[in-house]
Structure formats: structure tokens, C-alpha cells
Amino acid sequence: MTIFLGVDGGGSTCRARAIDEAGRLIGEGISGPANISTDLEGALSAIVAACNAALGPHDHGTVRAALGLAGANDPVAARTMQSRLPFRESHVVTDGQISVLGALGHQDGIVAAIGTGSVFILQKGGRQREIGGKGLILGDEASGAWIGRKLLSRTLRALDGFAPMTPLCQEMLDTMGGDAGIISFAARARPADFATLAAHIIQSADPTAVAILAEAGDECARAIDILQGGLQLPVVLLGGLAAVFAPIMARRWTVAPPLGSALDGAILLARSYAE
């Protein structure tokens, strides 16, 4: 018997699902962050934990696995992870790729996956073009981690006098122990840690929050506009911040619901390798 295993590993959460050849659910599992570019060992532990929970007592040697992982656009990290997985057959792709499969199936459209990180993908005529998704240091614009980092940066700039000291900035200084506390946090924080700060921005009327959210919306719209290339393809928003950006994007494009989840896409991919 072959077991098909799909994994959706993001910057905050890793989910796994196992099914049998008839499509019957064997089990599901959930664990912590699985960004293989920023923390490969931690990601491996999270992936194994989620997969073990999904597989239960079943033999790993019977498993065909497809894993869509944050950070898999780093080819060295992707190859290393694939080599260390215990399954009969493993395929590591980006989390964006499985998001598109789950959300669009084989239809044309654009997927904006915005959670801890962000990635934007065009699917047209069966081919995909991916932009963004470069990680927090170099990109991930509009993502939760990007928003959290922006909040801390604006707070420090306000402290130095470059920007107004709004109540939200003062709150950040008070709760994090001043500028020294913010600097210490940033030095050790992972993207998922920065992303926890995005909650301070969402639906806040503070001028700093409004400015950061507007900038994030502009970044999201710019990426979609590049992929549209003058077309009017439907846009599907995924991830923890999808509900935040959907009304903004709906002013310009048709925003459609996803056909399925990224985990659905991972299962579809795992099954496709057996065909």
C-alpha cells in the first residue's frame, strides 16, 4: 500500500495530512515553524513531528510525500531537507507552489499568499511565475513578519526624532523595555516572532499603524499588478492576513475564494508523482 503525505510548512505553522490510495484520510498533524532557510534543524523537527502525528504507526517506507516549505526557494536548503526525510519518496517545493495548486487547481489566476512571509504567483496556461518570497531580510513585503519589523523600526525612528511618537510607538517602547529591549529582541527574533507584532497594527487607528498597513497594501497591490501585466485575472488571497488585504485588493480586481487549501495542493502534488 502507498500512503500519500502532504505537508504545508510555513513560517509559523507546519501541517501534514496522510491519505491512502483510495483517498481516505489516515491522519493529520500540526506543529511549529518550518522555514527551512532561517532554521533548518528547527524546521526538520517540526516537519517530522507533524508527519509522525499524521502517519501514526504506518511505515515511512510506504510514503510518497510532497512538502511545500517556506524557504524552499533556497536550493541548498531544499536539497538538504529532501535528503534528510525518512520517506520512500520525497519532493520539496516552495509553499507558494502548493498554495497555487490548492487555490486554483488548473485555472488561470493569481495567488497572493500573505502570512508570516509572503509570495505572489501567477498561473496562466498551466505555467507559473513566482515573485516575492525572498525571506524577511531581503523581502517578504506586506507579510506579518515584515509588518512587525516595520513597527519596531518606526518605533526606534520615533524615539530618535525622525517620526512622531504615537501611542503605539510608546506602547512598544514600554512593553519591550525601551530601545535596548527592541534591539535585543530583533537580534534573536525569527520571522514568526516578528509576525506576532502584526496584531498591534491590524484594525488600529494609531497613525503609525495606519501608515504601515497602507504601505503593506501598496506593496501587495504592486506585486499583483506586476503579475497581471495589464490583464484582469482573478486574485485569490491566502494566509493569516488574507482577510486584511482582500477588501483593499477588491477595489481593483476580482477577488475569488480558494478552491482548496495549500495542504490540499500538497496532497494533489504527492499523488501526481505516482501517475
| pLDDT over 80 at 275, yes or no | no
With b meaning 16 or more CB within 10 Å and e meaning fewer, what string describes 2-36? Answer: ebbbbbbbbbbbbbbbbbeeeeeeebebebbbbbb
CATH number at residue 52: 3.30.420.40
Q: Is 33 helix (H, G, I), strand (E, B) or coil?
A: coil
Of the chain, the percentage scoring pLDDT greater than 70 comes to 99
Q: How high is the pLDDT of residue 215? A: 95
For residue 10, pLDDT over 90 is answered with no
Assess whether pLDDT exceeds 70 at residue 274: no
Q: Do 75 and 208 reside in the same domain of the chain?
A: no
- Considering the domain architecture, whether residues 248 and 236 belong to the same structural domain is answered as yes
Q: Are residues 137 and 268 in the same domain?
A: no
**pTM metric for this prediction:** 0.76
pLDDT of residue 168 exceeding 90: yes
Choice between 200 and 60, residue whose per-residue pLDDT is larger: 200
Same domain, 117 and 241: yes
Question: Contact, 270 vs 66, CB < 8 A?
Answer: yes
CA dihedral 183, 140, 136, 42 (to 10 degrees): 120
Average the pLDDT over 159-187 and give the result.
Answer: 94
Which run of H or of E encompasses 187?
helix 178-188
Q: Same structural domain for residues 51 and 168?
A: no
Q: Kindly calculate the radius of gyration of the chain based on its CA atoms and give it in whole angstroms.
A: 20
Contacts of 185 (CB under 8 A, 6+ apart): 152, 176, 193
User: Do 206 and 121 sit in the same domain of this protein?
Assistant: yes
How high is the pLDDT of residue 186?
92
Expressed as residue numbers, the domain containing 36 is 3-101+261-272
> Is the pLDDT reported for residue 261 higher than 70?
yes
| C-alpha torsion 268→272→274→275, nearest 10 | 130
Residues 49 and 174 reside in one and the same domain: no
Q: Assess whether 230 and 198 both reside in one domain.
A: yes
- Mean pLDDT across 115-124: 90
- pLDDT > 90: what percent of the chain? 65
Whether residue 109 is predicted with pLDDT greater than 80 in this model: the reply is yes
* 13 plus 142 within the same structural domain: no
Number of domains the chain contains: 2
Residue 266 and residue 219 share a domain: no
Q: How far apart are CA 170 and CA 186, in angstroms?
A: 17
- Band of the pLDDT at 86, cuts 50, 70, 90? confident
**DSSP for 189-247, written as a single string:** --HHHHHGGGGGTTT--SHHHHHHHHHHHHHHHHHHHHHHTT----EEEESTTHHHHHH
pLDDT tens figures, 174-227: 999 999 999 999 999 988 899 999 999 988 899 999 999 999 999 999 999 999
pLDDT computed for residue 97 by the predictor: 86
Cα–Cα distance measured from residue 100 to residue 84, given in angstroms and rounded to the nearest whole number: 26
Does the pLDDT of residue 90 top 70, yes or no? yes
Angle (nearest 5°) at CA 237 between 236 and 241: 175
Q: In whole numbers, what is the pLDDT of the chain averaged over residues?
A: 91
Q: Does residue 68 contact residue 264 with C-beta atoms inside 8 Å?
A: no
The predicted structure's pLDDT at residue 12: 78
